[in-house]
Chains A and B, each alone.
Chain A
Amino acid sequence: MPATEEMICITCPVGCNLAVTHEGATLLGVNGNMCKRGLKFAEAELTDPRRMVATTVRVRGGVHPLVPVYTREPFPKPRIFELLREIRRLEIEAPVTMNQVVLDNALGEEIDIITSRDMPEAGT
């Protein structure tokens, strides 16, 4: 049975209100998008919703006790909390450089988790 669902596209700051008609996971039509990216978003939301995830990882011996990290690409939404549990287990050693991989191929999704900044050793 076709159903129409409302969603807000998050691709850009405009936030178009989309009316998405679908049958199960099959996209039938989209209304309300101002550009093609809205279509892509609606499709992805139905079949494979993804989000960028940013969090922190414990650091030993650094200027701060945590270094911020993020997913290099949008990560499957249903597995975000599983990813966070995995990241919570980690602890890395200072000094850390920006874009250092703290977890590669996270949860087998072929997406690395990388640092957002340098974290020098304490006392630097």
Chain B
Amino acid sequence: MRSEYDIIIIGAGVVGCMTARWLSRYALRILLVERSSDVCTGATAANSAVVHAGYHAVPGTLKAEMNIKANPMWDLLSEELQFGFARTGAYIVAVGEEERPKLDMFLDRAQKNGTPAQIISAKEMRRREPGLNSEVSGALFVPAGGICDPWGATIAAAENAVMNGVELRLGTEFKDFLWSGEEARRIVGIRTNQGRFTSRWVINAAGLFADEVMHKAGVRPEFRITPRRGEYFVMDRHQIQVQNVLFPVPTAVSKGILVTPTLHGNTLVGPNAENIEDKTDMDVTPEGMNEIWDGGRKLVPGLDRRHVIAVFAGLRPAGNAPCLNPDVNYHHDFVIDIPEEVKGFVNLGGMESPALTAAPAIAERVIGMLRDAGETMAPKTDWNPIRPARPVFRHLTHEKQAVLVAEDPRYGRVVCRCEYVTEGEIVAEIHAPIPATTYDAIKRRTWLGTGRCLGGFDMPRVVDILARELGKDPLEISKKGHGSEFLFRRTKEAG
């Protein structure tokens, strides 16, 4: 296994994986390192799955610029990488007369940012969303908004990168930079818990830990990531269907508590926004749950708590970088730059919303910055932008399902009953370019275990399949890596 690269990327969330995918186009030796046991386990694993139109970002900020650039890229990207995306449009809903003037402010902002927006009357909004609060006073419709599968997007980008020659090392945690012996302040690689790797460039895509990484480079000592926790409810699609992506009138800090359909037809309610200290604390809390419930019911009063099928929380890597434009008074902008004080370092920080949306544009920006810094970005002739999808049983017609089962009987065994995920799909993910080796990894790739029974039926079967396909003992199979094994011992061993 090699230890010398041209570029090392720290962090395999959506930003790191999209950057890897874009970079894979060029004749460069690229290493993507990720501390956890899978890609897409940080902030990308838990968010609203919304592709933002760009009405909320403050005009003149990097956030706005990247959001607007990236938004139109999602149609082609989702086709190339074969992941779920739907340009549904989105609504900002004003409830009560006091909120109505705020819509004009966001209409103005949308226009300044360059995304189409249209004011909708209260009556028309109620027609479009029958379950809406009757106190709705109007809405702002942004047709560029959409919903996606953030897990699918990230994993597909990483797979495409790997297919095109990027090396991925999971379970590999950045410890410190390697510095040149000859030249002052030049980074020549990284030291990890799995050894040292050298490179001309290191890209910081460490999300929640981006501040710690950049501080090790001696860059931006004042920059700080504050984990901002957001909690979510997932509502059962068999009990409730919301027609549209519904935002409330936002606050200065966050886009507010949405009620939105997912690509699965379920309804997501959340997130709230709570600054916390601990970058690993993704607890759901009674206060948080009450807050998102109240927020959700403000938009859709008919929400019934008995229809909740899942609860989760994510952390936004909120940064404190000021907008580069001195005329813009904003202090939580993206950091996307090659710092002057250090050589060989590309710094990406503050990757909270709209970073998921912006990721493809950020990746492109990284390419541009490297080229401007003198890197020869020679395109490969054999770069393949297409990541072919693997069969998804539940998306097929009965006719096609019959054909698939006849070809490979493993597709005939439904393992996750609620989401109709078959053994064939699970096996395919275990042997995919980025192998799924834990239960949660399979969940992110197939949506298994996210349905009403929350894994009650599938868990023993998935443990067996993972053990068999990985050649492991079922006792070694875990939910999300070492330390989260499901089973302790065999029943008849001494207890």
Asked if chains A and B are in direct contact (CB within 8 A), the reply is yes
Within residues 447 to 491 of chain B, which ones have a CB less than 8 A from any CB in chain A?
Answer: 490-491
A21 within 8 A of B: no
> Separation in Å of the B438 CB from the closest CB of chain A?
24
B492 within 8 A of A: yes
Tell me the dominant secondary structure on chain A's binding face. Answer: strand
> Separation in Å of the B186 CB from the closest CB of chain A?
59
Please give, as numbers and ranges, the residues of chain B lying within 8 Å of A66 by CB-CB distance: 491-492
Please give, as numbers and ranges, the residues of chain A lying within 8 Å of B491 by CB-CB distance: 56, 66
Please give, as numbers and ranges, the residues of chain A lying within 8 Å of B490 by CB-CB distance: 65
A58 within 8 A of B: yes
> Separation in Å of the B487 CB from the closest CB of chain A?
13
Residue of B nearest to A88 (CB): B492
Q: How far is the CA of A65 from the CA of B492 in the complex (A)?
A: 10
Interface residues on B, range: under 10
Q: How far is the CA of A100 from the CA of B410 in the complex (A)?
A: 35
Residue of B nearest to A56 (CB): B491
The interface bits of chain A over 90-123 (1 if a CB of B lies within 8 angstroms of the residue's CB, else 0) are 0000000000000000000000000000000000
Q: How far is the CA of A116 from the CA of B470 in the complex (A)?
A: 34
Within residues 43 to 80 of chain A, which ones have a CB less than 8 A from any CB in chain B?
Answer: 56, 58, 65-66
> Separation in Å of the A84 CB from the closest CB of chain B?
10
Q: How far is the CA of A56 from the CA of B493 in the complex (A)?
A: 12
Residue of B nearest to A58 (CB): B492
Please give, as numbers and ranges, the residues of chain B lying within 8 Å of A88 by CB-CB distance: 492
Q: How far is the CA of A58 from the CA of B490 in the complex (A)?
A: 11
Within residues 171 to 189 of chain B, which ones have a CB less than 8 A from any CB in chain A?
Answer: none
> Separation in Å of the A116 CB from the closest CB of chain B?
16
Q: How far is the CA of A88 from the CA of B494 in the complex (A)?
A: 9
Q: How far is the CA of A65 from the CA of B490 in the complex (A)?
A: 10
Q: How far is the CA of A88 from the CA of B495 in the complex (A)?
A: 11
Q: How far is the CA of A66 from the CA of B491 in the complex (A)?
A: 9
Q: How far is the CA of A66 from the CA of B492 in the complex (A)?
A: 9
Residue of B nearest to A90 (CB): B492
The interface bits of chain A over 13-32 (1 if a CB of B lies within 8 angstroms of the residue's CB, else 0) are 00000000000000000000
Please give, as numbers and ranges, the residues of chain B lying within 8 Å of A56 by CB-CB distance: 491-492
- CB pairs A–B below 8 angstroms (7 shown): A56-B491, A56-B492, A58-B492, A65-B490, A66-B491, A66-B492, A88-B492
Across the A-B interface, the 7 shortest Cβ-Cβ residue pairs? A58-B492, A88-B492, A66-B491, A56-B491, A66-B492, A56-B492, A65-B490
